[in-house]
Homo-oligomer: A and B are copies of this chain.
């Protein structure tokens, strides 16, 4: 994953991967069919973790606003725990079948979140004057931007980042003063 993220997936050959791992190419081919399968395993690891989040009890029971906040917080934890895998996932552009499948699963995840935003609007816990799809994009735009600067070595915990995101975005999303009822 590190090599893919440094050089880009397209720019990385099996030769380079073998060198970096200190093994032969045939040793890699013993385990996987090729670069494509390595990419699939990696982006699936990130996607499986994100889909596990939306199946957690706190994501499926209770008020939609609380479920949405739970999904956002836990997505940030996944992003930090699986940083190189999520980074690779977010850089996928759809050039191969594996990449297109990953993009399709990302869209599916976005739909789950967008549906939560709609439900939260319906229950009256989110301001009604924001578009659910646009809100989902901007909210996860903020969440996903964490890959650009987060470095575990700097001692900032996932929880602190999640606190900051929910303070900024949710006190804005929740109905309250300054916001239409």
Contact = CB atoms under 8 A, between A and B. Distances in A.
Interface in A150-181: 156, 161, 164-165, 167-174, 176-179
Contacts of A168: 130, 135, 138-139, 169, 172-173
A169 B169 contact: yes
Contact of A141 (B142, B170, B178, B179): B142
Contact of A146 (B127, B141, B179): B141
A63 interface: no
A124 interface: no
Interface on chain A toward B: helix, strand, loop, or mixed SS?
helix
A141 B146 CA distance: 7
B130 A164 contact: yes
Copies in the complex: 2
Most buried by B among A134, A140, A156: A134
Contact of A174 (B144, B146, B178): B178
20 contacts: A8-B11, A127-B167, A129-B167, A134-B164, A135-B164, A137-B145, A138-B142, A138-B145, A141-B144, A141-B145, A141-B146, A142-B145, A144-B145, A168-B169, A168-B172, A169-B172, A171-B171, A171-B172, A171-B176, A171-B179
Interface of A: 8, 10-11, 127, 129-131, 134-135, 137-142, 144-146, 148-149, 156, 161, 164-165, 167-174, 176-179
